[in-house]
A = this chain, B = another copy of it.
Amino acid sequence: MSIEAKLEELGIELPPAPPAVAAYEAWIRTGHLVMTSGQLPWKGEQLAYEGKLGADLSEAEGYEAAKLCAINAIAQLKEAVNDLNRIQQIVRLEGNVHAAAGFRGHPQVLNGASDLMRAVFGEKGRHTRTALGINEMPLNAPVQLSVFAAVEDGE
């Protein structure tokens, strides 16, 4: 099944790739890799979620925020490679969680991104992950997610 068909089956409509919020690019391709900048849980021009896990948001909301970051990252990948079927592997998710004192649910939150990548890309969605708790996040976003992906016909 094509990735586009899979997205449709999952009821996911890719948004336009969110533009960078400052003097940088949303993605770059180098060699066989596409790397995205840090993705936030944008829904159009608004952050769908704001605040810290462990204070302002529940773990379930954090999971949804991480999922939305991943959807935005897929939108960046599509802009980078045009046809998502050319993605060979989602190599790496760098997951950063805006964490209030004592929060420990990073893995559960970031599974929102990991589960989506596996659902959309199947075996090609298998990835490494980092999970850090960040004290102060740009724009008060609850999650920031960077993605490295390998492209099939990469040099």
Please give the residue numbers on chain A whose beta carbons come within 8 Å of chain B beta carbons, in ascending order.
20-28, 30-33, 35-38, 54, 89, 91-94, 96, 99-104, 106-108, 110-111, 114-115, 118, 126-140, 144, 146, 148, 150, 154
Contact = CB atoms under 8 A, between A and B. Distances in A.
Nearest to A105: B138
Given A23-B114, A132-B137, A134-B135, 19 more contacts: A24-B114, A24-B127, A24-B128, A25-B126, A30-B33, A30-B91, A36-B128, A37-B129, A37-B130, A94-B130, A96-B132, A101-B135, A104-B136, A104-B138, A104-B139, A107-B138, A128-B146, A130-B144, A130-B146
Q: Which 5 A-B pairs have the closest CB atoms?
A: A133-B136, A22-B107, A24-B129, A99-B136, A23-B114
